[in-house]
Amino acid sequence: MDALKACYGDGSSDSDSESVPSSSTLARPKVLTPLPPPPISLLDPPNFIGSLDLQIGQTTRVRSFPHVDGNYALHVYIPINISSPSKKELAAFLKKVSCREPTLNVVDVDVALNILCQNDEKLEQIALGREFHISLGRTVPIRVHQIDSVVTMLRQKLQTQQYYWIDFNKWEIFVNDERTRTFVSLEVVQGGLVQITKQIEAVNAIYKLHNLPEFYKDPRPHISLAWAPGDISHSLKNSVDEEMKKCVAGKPLKKCIFSCKFSGIECKIGQKTYSVCKISDGR
């Protein structure tokens, strides 16, 4: 999975190149490199129970910047994993939204969400069983001679992070910079927001020293769970809002949709992942 993500880029909470609000000021690249769809074998992980006829969509993913020999894609992020009890609730909500928006696909594997909804187990495992990311900086190209400097500075500034909880409180819709994709996301608006914002500021400082584009002025930390082609933000937001109203009708308002522990920060450069800091459960 990691190798596949490295090749195709991360389309979830990799908020920099694909799942960010449309307020970015980055110029659209002149050359877009199309990528083939991922192999269907990815949809049959080892020891998976049951079978389902899944078809890969013919959508074409493009990079936010053209490939140049000697450049490596840099991405700094917080890894996020969803617990089993939360997966069931999220899967149930996504199933309802997909009935309203049949063009929705699963982030990364690019499979139609309504196909996965035919099997609850596969919906939970394929759509929600992967590792998600809260981006702390844009995904940008760097040169090979910058790698050691970037990794060293990230570790120096971020290795002493403290333990905290991250609360995902809000369903939100984001559109990528090119307005070619719309994302269904979970946003952090309370617990963990202060800490994540400080981490983004630290990453920004390092990016600036290396002449790399900084993150958005008003960052909105989130992970993305599903996407649809084009800019359908208006209709998709209406669908999500309507389903949210049904979920909370006559029920006490939940403090957050789901929570997870901050476990550390990682940096992926090309196909190699570097640990910037790691927080043990004991801290």
Active site residues: 133, 222
User: Which residues are paired to 181 by β-bridges?
Assistant: 229
Cα angle value 216/219/224 (rounded, 5°): 105
Reported for 268-275, long-range contacts at CB under 8 A and 24+ positions apart, including other chains, are 268/5, 268/6, 268/73, 268/74, 268/75, 268/77, 269/72, 269/73, 269/74, 269/75, 269/142, 269/147, 269/150, 269/151, 270/6, 270/72, 270/73, 271/2, 271/3, 271/6, 271/7, 273/2, 274/151, 274/154
φ, ψ of residue 214 in degrees (nearest 5): -80, 170
Distance CA(106)–CA(12), nearest Å, equals 9
DSSP 3-state assignment of 211? coil
Name, in order, each residue with C-beta under 8 angstroms of 255's C-beta and a sequence gap of 6 or more.
167, 169
Distance CA(201)–CA(214), nearest Å, equals 9
Q: Per-residue b/e over 128-164, b at no fewer than 16 CB within 10 Å?
A: bebbbbbbbbbbbbbeeebbeebbebbbebbeebeee
